[in-house]
Amino acid sequence: MSIITQNLVYFVIAIAIIIILLIWAYSTNRLQQDFNTLTWTLIPVAIAINVVIGQIVVTLKLPVYLDSIGTVFVGVLCGPWAGAITGMLSNIIWGTIIDPNAFPWFPVAFFIGLVAGFCAKAGLFKSWWKVIVTGFLVALTAAAVSTPISVGVYGGITASGSSFITAYLLQTGQNLLPAVLITNNLVEPFDKISTALLAYAIMQGLSTRFLARFPRPQNVEVQKDVNWMQIIIAVIIVIAVLAFYILVVVNLTNK
């Protein structure tokens, strides 16, 4: 039981981190520069895109959620802080109006928008393979943030289908925290990479004139030439991050 209490503390810490980040961004004017009138009108549409595409995916019975396309879209075109706010409001509105189970996950959505925005700022949204890297980084963040929430609020086993993996790992004698972490790391990359690719496809379909009215159109200028050296370096980095993650998880398990 003590692990539950401990993780509820993590949830409080996550909220405190979000508030500190927002105050920091506000005081250094980073928050304000992401917001013009077009950003404010895009956010409701992006939230609606999150919700409606999430529901279409359920109708098509696909094994992913795809409920953060709008968040990634705003994060890339309007900047990380706009993306973060979109994600947070999306889950808060979804949670209070449609399905209250979405409410506790708002820190996850916050970090999805934030990381997508920073990746795009670093130029990781300019060709298809860079978008995959972005999706991968977003997935790692989402898995790390959602684990304490899943453990703290739901005791590790939520009402979603992927909890069967967690349950299986628990039955094989795994501890609760690593079991949830492993599950999230298995499930999230599929979801977030396809989310990022779909957002990229949407942006490619929009006209340059339309994109130019948002705060950061330079994030999506396409690079036509494929640089194989860069791809190889990216693959090596991804493998290194994965190896590091597996190492951390194994260490957690041995405790």
Partner 1 sequence: MHERLSFYTKRDSSLHKLNPLTKLTLAFSLVLISFISPWYWTPHVLLLLILIPLSFLGKVSGEFLRALFRLILPAAGFLFLMQAFFQPIGSSIIFKIWFLDITKESLIFAFRNAMRIAIMVSSFTLFLLTTHPSELMSELTRRGLPGQFAYVIISTLQIIPQMQAKAQTIIAAQRSRGLDTQSGFLKRVGSLIPLVGPLVFGSLVEVEERAIAIEARGFTSTREKTFLYDIPDTNLDRALRWMLILLVIASLALRIWLS
Judged by the rule CB under 8 A, the positions of this chain that interact with partner 1 are: 1, 5, 8, 35, 37-38, 40-45, 47-49, 51-53, 55-57, 59-62, 69, 89, 93, 95-101, 103-104, 153-159, 163, 166-167, 170-171, 173, 198, 201-202, 205-206, 210, 213
Which three-class secondary structure state does DSSP give residue 216? coil
Contact 63, 108 (CB under 8 A): no
Smallest distance from partner 1 to CB 241, Å: 27
Smallest distance from partner 1 to CB 37, Å: 5
C-beta closer to partner 1: residue 97 or 222: 97
C-beta closer to partner 1: residue 62 or 250: 62
Contact 38, 65 (CB under 8 A): no
CA–CA dist 109, 51 (Å, integer): 13
Which three-class secondary structure state does DSSP give residue 35? coil
- Interhelix angle 37-59/80-93, rounded to 10 degrees, is 50
Among 219, 222, 214, 240, which residue's Cα sits nearest to residue 34?
Answer: 214
C-beta closer to partner 1: residue 89 or 120: 89
C-beta closer to partner 1: residue 41 or 227: 41
- Measured in whole angstroms, the distance separating CA 25 from the mean position of its chain's CA atoms is 19
Smallest distance from partner 1 to CB 209, Å: 10
Smallest distance from partner 1 to CB 244, Å: 28
C-beta closer to partner 1: residue 63 or 123: 63
CA–CA dist 50, 58 (Å, integer): 12
Among 188, 219, 161, 202, which residue's Cα sits nearest to residue 53?
Answer: 202
C-beta closer to partner 1: residue 24 or 26: 26
CA–CA dist 64, 24 (Å, integer): 34
Smallest distance from partner 1 to CB 97, Å: 6
Smallest distance from partner 1 to CB 81, Å: 13
Smallest distance from partner 1 to CB 139, Å: 19
C-beta closer to partner 1: residue 4 or 238: 4
Contacts of 111 (CB under 8 A, 6+ apart): 84, 87, 141, 142, 145
Q: What is the DSSP string of 107-156?
A: HHHHHHHHHHHHHHHTTTTSSHHHHHHHHHHHHHHHHHHHHHHHHHHHTT
